[in-house]
Amino acid sequence: MKITFDPKKNADNIRERQLSFDEVSKLEWSSAVILEDVRKDYGERRFRVLGTLMNVFMRSCLRHAKVLYMSLVLERLTVER
């Protein structure tokens, strides 16, 4: 799977979340939950992804064109108790 992303959004994500979009290749795709985002018409297919990366829960949003494009966010999820 080829994944591309906007370098500026990646820099923003690194600054805000200390996570590079390059890390998505390490996501445990075999156990990830991937759902198509049909909340509205985006004019393209988009997917919401929940998975683990180095034993940490992550969420991401991907959009599909000719390749998957990591466009919105890669962030750690925390559980509040």
Query: Residue 71: which pLDDT band, with cuts at 50, 70 and 90?
Result: very low
Q: Residue 9 domain-assigned?
A: yes
Structural domain tally of the chain? Answer: 1
Q: What CATH number is attached to the domain comprising 42?
A: 3.10.450
Report the candidate in 71, 60, 74 with the shortest Cα–Cα distance to residue 18: 74
**Which among 59, 31, 30 has a CA at the least distance from the CA of 47?**
59
How does pLDDT run across 4-54, given as a tens digit for each residue?
788 888 898 888 888 888 887 788 888 888 888 899 998 888 888 888 877
Task: Assign 73 a pLDDT band (cuts: 50, 70, 90).
Answer: low
Q: Among 13-17, 33-37, 61-65, 67-71, whose mean pLDDT is lowest?
A: 67-71
Enclosing domain of residue 54 = 3-76
Distance, in Å, from the CA atom of 16 to the CA atom of 47, rounded to the nearest integer, reads 22
Taking the C-alpha atoms of residue 22 and residue 29, their distance in angstroms, rounded to an integer, is 14
Is this structure's pTM higher than 0.75?
A: no
Q: Let me know if residue 81 belongs to a domain.
A: no
The reply to whether 72 falls in a domain is: yes
Are 68 and 46 spatial neighbours (Cβ–Cβ below 8 Å)?
no
> Rounded CA gap, 39 and 78, in Å?
24
State the pLDDT at residue 13. 82
